Chain A
């Protein structure tokens, strides 16, 4: 009996020690996170905030199963440990229709609920669906290159490299392609990502709530320089945005077929840059390039 209490106490000590360790650990993580941007949980745009709500709801539904599992696991493990001779022992009980029905049923119910949420949210947050707003959407054509992002504003006749200025509270309609290995276009504070693929055009709709600077990144490995393929998204007031367009238009750099071909060559960590004019149809030409019959380039036997 004495040994059993002794065992009990050492175990209790262990439990308390682990709890202290756990709290200390959480403390460390909180300190490490402090003051830094938890981008996905700090939405600055309509889509990102809806996605955050979705993440929270799904997590809560998940916890509805996970927490009981943990409680059952540890309480049953504790109660029916070998040392506890007082606990009931029924070695031959192998099934119970009611209980099994229960744990087919409960997860199934949760999945039905989650399924409905999924259907609804997937359609609502479809990256191709235009954001309803009184403000007219701004079109931006995105090209992922080796290893930089090119943003063309087709309606404004300007373009920028590794820098994406947008007007606040305005839906932004992105058309996305790639003239390089596949990439993924992601601005976590504003909303989820979509792939950039050569010979194809994908779409994404985002809208910033206010003024701010957000990190944009490339989420899919596209070769040597991809880690440096980041850009700043600057959401600004309409006046400031119009001013930026004016400044950009005065830029001596222009983007024609020749300058584009030079730009598309591999290069790393390019500084941001504006282009005063863009050859019309450039974006389409970049896509159509891959639709042409094979001329044998890039292939060697």
Chain B
């Protein structure tokens, strides 16, 4: 009976390791504290209004809040990893057991990719895409809320092992047969599977949502070739989401069937084939890299022209390059395992396809640089992030090309050289891009800019920290140091470099602390940094809305006739006499949150083999969906009069 009720969940499943439990209960404590605070300040209603909002701007903010919290979690993991690797040498065993160490780096990778990078990207998309195409909303506002709550549930499940159970110790991609029952009988891999499965379905729905939004909801006159390049980058990235995420869903599904029902998709024996998993996971995994980095390319394509006071150089080239990268990204997955023993012909094909991606990427870099040529460049922090991005990304690109030559890759594969390379791309590309975007678009939503001086300090801490953290890893790679080692021989002479890398990680943490300080100081002293609706002399439509933008973004739908539409409007001094109309916007809906909760039951039930709970969750999701889909009363109308009141009070567009 207890088995039926509680599955594998027993009192001993609760975490006893002081370090993990400490972190876990600290997180629970923080939640309790937040709840107390909300009650004390009577803000529950306020919170519920945020949680149930279908306004993409609010959903975007929630994505970013989750991503920032997860960034702190991921950084805490880094400090543990680096401390272990700097101290666990020779006779010393460091601070962590092998198993705990392996759980930590697996969590680090998973969290940073799925819950930090993806969270930031979808946050920025929600905030910017509708406004930049002159739309009032996304195509499917309710689905957008469901996407976010599935993402949030995935986040909860990936953090739950801090309190109950254990985390996967199989690396961030959980290769079988290691991740099969035979070698990982615990719940760790199940947590990993269901966290990603649920968040992944959310990502897929977001991909469809933004793709359709861009195709269907652009302002009249904004033809494809008049879209801002950021929108192009999102369109490409979301196409990748639509093609790649179903592969992830299917792959995780098969792995979970192996684990739940004793099937043999990827087991060593019984006719299973682990190589199939590795192919499939990278058929998703490589496009995933571009899902993250293409929007970052788009962000820089907005920032560089604005701060150079000049048109983007080579718009058509930029678009062609984006499309080329999008298509090519599906033809290179095998370069993640040249060492599997495929023949020379196969390896050559995938090697060359990989190099070919360097061409359109290189074109983009040259176009950005020539956007600055004969411009008037203002070196505000977004431009500093851009300079840092080009510097680190180019180095990362070169080491990437190096590894795309199969015979050279045999010497770099799974070494710290590889680890340095992909951090070069993800931090230098995605993370720096996100920080540039944050600084650039912050005043759009708040009416004041971020403190420049603290922003500059944060940038330098990040850049120097990044170099100190990852140059040693390149060198260690040459020394033959493989990734994921919790211990090594003193005679190898690696310790000094690991210590330097640890110092680099500390500097990065200081950079993050500086950014938190920057936001705090900027909010406290916001009176000093107040700006109008167009603080940077912007070029695209998001700067045409009021600050902060009203829920419907645009009181009057703008008509576009050129690229850089807002720039042209300013140049031609177009002042349209506003004619206010009533606007229909989606009502708040708590059903997204409820679907999230039921999905949490599904995930938790399957992880702990509490099958009745999973069934309750599944039925719950279906019922809520039926309720929503059969409801006609989902919108509310803001009357023309109210719109006029809002617009004239706010002094908006």
Interface, chain A (partner B; CB < 8 A): 25, 28-29, 32-33, 35-41, 48, 50-52, 54-55, 58-59, 61-63, 65-66, 69-70, 72-73, 76-77, 80-82, 87-96, 99-100, 103-104, 107-108, 111, 114-115, 117-119, 121-129, 180-182, 184, 186, 188-189, 191-195, 197-200, 202-203, 215, 217-228, 230, 289-294, 296, 298-301
A to B CB contacts below 8 Å, 5 in the list: A80-B373, A103-B366, A111-B355, A200-B341, A293-B271
Instruction: Determine the residue in chain A with the shortest Cβ distance to B310.
Output: A91
Known A76-B372, A77-B377, A111-B356; judge A69-B408 contact (CB<8 A).
Answer: no
A25–B376 Cα distance when bound, in Å, is 33
Interface, chain B (partner A; CB < 8 A): 98-99, 102, 169-171, 175, 177-178, 181-183, 261-262, 264, 267-271, 274-275, 308-317, 337, 339-341, 343-344, 347-348, 351-352, 355-356, 358-359, 362-363, 365-367, 369-370, 372-379, 387, 390-391, 394-395, 397-398, 401-402, 404-415, 467-468, 471-472, 475, 477-480, 482-489, 492-494, 496-497, 500
A114–B407 Cα distance when bound, in Å, is 13
Smallest Cβ distance from B428 to chain A, in angstroms?
13
A66–B101 Cα distance when bound, in Å, is 37
Contact in complex: B359, A108 (CB < 8 Å): yes
Taking CB atoms, residues of chain B closer than 8 Å to A77 are 372, 377, 379, 387
Contact in complex: B314, A90 (CB < 8 Å): no
Taking CB atoms, residues of chain A closer than 8 Å to B471 are 29
Smallest Cβ distance from A276 to chain B, in angstroms?
29
Which residue from B316, B317, B355, B374 sits with its C-beta under 8 Å from A80? B374
Contact in complex: A114, B405 (CB < 8 Å): yes
Contact in complex: A55, B408 (CB < 8 Å): yes
Contact in complex: B347, A122 (CB < 8 Å): yes
Taking CB atoms, residues of chain B closer than 8 Å to A65 are 362, 398
Contact in complex: A115, B181 (CB < 8 Å): no
Known A51-B408, A125-B410, A215-B492; judge A118-B374 contact (CB<8 A).
Answer: no
Contact in complex: A100, B348 (CB < 8 Å): no
Q: Chain A at the B interface: mostly helix, strand, loop or mixed?
A: mixed
Taking CB atoms, residues of chain A closer than 8 Å to B178 are 181-182, 221-223
Taking CB atoms, residues of chain A closer than 8 Å to B477 are 40
Taking CB atoms, residues of chain B closer than 8 Å to A127 are 341, 410
Which residue from B411, B467, B482 sits with its C-beta under 8 Å from A217? B482
Known A104-B363, A194-B339, A300-B181; judge A224-B169 contact (CB<8 A).
Answer: yes
A77–B371 Cα distance when bound, in Å, is 10
Known A59-B398, A224-B99, A299-B181; judge A73-B387 contact (CB<8 A).
Answer: yes
New A-B pairs, 12, CB < 8 Å, besides A55-B408, A55-B411, A118-B348: A28-B500, A32-B472, A32-B493, A35-B493, A59-B402, A70-B394, A80-B377, A81-B377, A89-B309, A95-B316, A189-B480, A224-B99
Taking CB atoms, residues of chain A closer than 8 Å to B373 are 76, 80
Taking CB atoms, residues of chain B closer than 8 Å to A182 are 175, 177-178, 274
Identify the interface centre among B171, B348, B468: most chain A CB within 10 Å of its CB.
B348
A181–B408 Cα distance when bound, in Å, is 25
